[in-house]
Chains A and B, each alone.
Chain A
Amino acid sequence: MARYGLRTIALVYLLFLLVLPVALIFWTTFADGIGPVIDALTTPSALHAFKVTAQVAIISVILNTLFGVGTAVLLVRHEFPGRRTLNMLVDLPIAVSPVVVGLALILVYGRFAPMGGWLADRGIDIIFSLPGMVLATVFVCLPLVVRAVTPVLEEIGTEQEQAAWTLGAKPWQAFRRVTLPAIRWALAYGMVLSLARSLGEYGAVAVVSGRIKDQTQTLTLFVEERFQNFDQQAAYAAAFAMAVVAVATLLLITLLRPREDDR
């Protein structure tokens, strides 16, 4: 009996906290049929927001993948002073508020900060433009690839890499032919997580982008701006689009995870 009690409590809690709200957004979006949704998503502002979001997300995922694999290899394969500290610092972005991330970047790369000023004199604007938004997104997604790859690297050990080296493979060759195939699913998992997080980042991007409509407005900022301007249809339509991406991400993650278990 206790079993059914617990099951009911868990499911009712999930129903009200998770299922109903998300189901409602699908319902609200299509309340007036599919026509207005398509109209709302094909306005120039919406299309521009899609483009900016895609640019930021793609660049961030590439940077995070390179850095993530590099750091994971460094943390697992090398002993050096400060390793434990680096290991802890990698997790820092998870705990730091997105708004604080934005503020931190403004203080260093803003036009009136030493580094930002120096760059601005050379015609490179970071804050209130694309590079700043990429920096913010890279910051918040930093741990995702590292944490996905690290456990697999630990598990596979170095025997195969060593075998490759004794057979005359150069370090890069050994990495590409031996290590990379072994971590490919974990890496894909980390990249999917990063991509989802990059597409959905709001707080940090809101601070560093300056929220300039049709210039630095990403989809999340578009949702907020439309909502505040009482354009519910557009806000819900864009939110719906992102919810679809979120669900697709979940499906991908579920597909990628069992593969890890099989090995």
Chain B
Amino acid sequence: MATTYLSLIVLIPLAAVVWRSTEEGLSGFWAQVTTPESSSALKLTIGASLLVAFINLVMGTLIAWVLVRDDFPGKRIVEMLIDLPFALPTIVAGLVLLALYGPSSPLGVDLAYARSGVVVALLFVTLPFVVRTVQPVMLELDKEVEEAAASLGAGKGTIFRRVILPSLLPAMLSGTALAFARSISEFGSTVLISGNIPFETQVAAVSIFGQIESDNITGAAAVSTVLLVVALVMLVSLDLLQRWGSRRG
């Protein structure tokens, strides 16, 4: 029964997308993906997502570290705020970012209708992923091993690199992969701040939306299929990462 439900809602519709995209054969599919508009949207999406994933890898780990090892007044509130991007509707996220970093920015920073605006929007919605995957692993870390390393004369950098980093790595990479997958597929938060300028700030999801609106369903299905393939690759690598992590742990 669960399988039927899953098929009706998820599998059959997704299969229909792939089916539709190859309606005119593989060459037709390729022609749709490589139209100037689609290919520039895909390139921007992948480039921005890679950048966002990398920033998340660094900042997410850093934030998790501060939340686990540091103590300061208001930590509980920060702890709660981390999840806000998950709870906040994406369109609201886009609106709030446009309010702060848009044309009427009180800070005088105008990122609206620019690629940097897209990156900020993606950073906002993907913030919790790395923090939330790294944090539990960091909590489990055995401080004695670090102390042992320190007593054997290891410096702080060496301890982090040789003792802490290896045990955190699977979680860090899982979180980064999740953030990357989310960035690739993000729609709501980018639609307002990007201004939806083809060849300039239009990300893949927004481009698909435009193609659906203008009734170019085959083109929309082709770009969607590319996103679906990326999503599947991410899921499989996450599964592998989890196995790697549990073997190490």
Are A and B associated in one complex? yes
Question: Which residues from chain A sit less than 8 Å from chain B, CB to CB?
Answer: 2-3, 6-7, 9-11, 13-14, 17-22, 24-25, 28, 67, 70-71, 74, 86, 88-109, 113, 135, 138-139, 142, 193, 196, 199-203, 206-207, 219-220, 223-224, 227, 235-236, 239, 242-243, 246-247, 249-251, 253-254
Q: Please determine whether B235 and A108 come into contact, CB atoms closer than 8 angstroms.
A: no
Chain A residues with CB below 8 A from B238, complex form? 91
Q: Which of B27-35, B85-93, B163-171 lines the interface with chain A?
A: B85-93
**Please, what's the 1-or-0 string for B86-127, where 1 marks a CB less than 8 Å from any CB in chain A?**
111111100111011100001100000000000010011001
Q: Please determine whether A223 and B187 come into contact, CB atoms closer than 8 angstroms.
A: no
Chain A residues with CB below 8 A from B234, complex form? 95
In whole angstroms, what is the CA distance A227 to B101 when docked? Answer: 16
Q: Please determine whether B100 and A100 come into contact, CB atoms closer than 8 angstroms.
A: no
Q: Among B11, B90, B96, B221, which residue has its beta carbon within 8 angstroms of that of A21?
A: B96
Chain B residues numbered 68-92 whose CB sits less than 8 Å from any CB in chain A: 69-70, 72, 78, 80-92
Most buried by A among B10, B12, B69, B184: B10
Q: Please determine whether B3 and A86 come into contact, CB atoms closer than 8 angstroms.
A: yes
Q: Please determine whether B188 and A202 come into contact, CB atoms closer than 8 angstroms.
A: yes
Contact (A107, B187) CB under 8 Å given A21-B100, A67-B2? no
Q: Please determine whether A67 and B12 come into contact, CB atoms closer than 8 angstroms.
A: no
Question: Which residues from chain B sit less than 8 Å from chain A, CB to CB?
Answer: 1-3, 5-6, 9-14, 16-17, 20, 59, 62-63, 65-67, 69-70, 72, 78, 80-92, 95-97, 99-101, 106-107, 120, 123-124, 127, 156, 178, 181-182, 184-188, 191-192, 204-206, 208-209, 212, 217, 220-221, 224, 227-228, 231-232, 234-236, 238-239
Q: Among B11, B188, B204, B232, which residue has its beta carbon within 8 angstroms of that of A98?
A: B188
In whole angstroms, what is the CA distance A10 to B78 when docked? Answer: 10
Contact (A18, B185) CB under 8 Å given A28-B99, A89-B6, A107-B16? no
In whole angstroms, what is the CA distance A249 to B84 when docked? Answer: 9
In whole angstroms, what is the CA distance A249 to B92 when docked? Answer: 15
A150 CB, min distance to chain B CBs, angstroms? 13
Contact (A202, B95) CB under 8 Å given A13-B59, A99-B209, A103-B212? no
Q: Please determine whether A249 and B87 come into contact, CB atoms closer than 8 angstroms.
A: yes
Chain A residues with CB below 8 A from B72, complex form? 7
Chain B residues with CB below 8 A from A251, complex form? 80
In whole angstroms, what is the CA distance A242 to B217 when docked? Answer: 32
Q: Please determine whether A18 and B84 come into contact, CB atoms closer than 8 angstroms.
A: yes
B88 CB, min distance to chain A CBs, angstroms? 4
Q: Among A95, A103, A104, A105, which residue has its beta carbon within 8 angstroms of that of B235?
A: A95
A22 CB, min distance to chain B CBs, angstroms? 6
Q: Please determine whether A104 and B17 come into contact, CB atoms closer than 8 angstroms.
A: yes
Q: Please determine whether B187 and A97 come into contact, CB atoms closer than 8 angstroms.
A: yes
Chain B residues with CB below 8 A from A219, complex form? 89
Q: Please determine whether A100 and B84 come into contact, CB atoms closer than 8 angstroms.
A: no
Q: Please determine whether B208 and A103 come into contact, CB atoms closer than 8 angstroms.
A: yes
Q: Please determine whether A250 and B80 come into contact, CB atoms closer than 8 angstroms.
A: yes
Contact (A9, B89) CB under 8 Å given A17-B120, A93-B10, A103-B17? no
In whole angstroms, what is the CA distance A25 to B124 when docked? Answer: 15
Q: Among A74, A97, A227, which residue has its beta carbon within 8 angstroms of that of B185?
A: A97
Chain B residues with CB below 8 A from A227, complex form? 95, 192
Q: Please determine whether A100 and B224 come into contact, CB atoms closer than 8 angstroms.
A: yes
B112 CB, min distance to chain A CBs, angstroms? 12
Q: Please determine whether B91 and A220 come into contact, CB atoms closer than 8 angstroms.
A: yes
Q: Among A135, A235, A246, which residue has its beta carbon within 8 angstroms of that of B87?
A: A246
Q: Jot down 16 A-B pairs with beta carbons below 8 A, ordered by A.
A: A6-B65, A7-B66, A10-B62, A17-B123, A18-B85, A97-B184, A97-B231, A98-B188, A99-B187, A107-B16, A108-B16, A202-B91, A220-B188, A224-B91, A239-B92, A249-B87
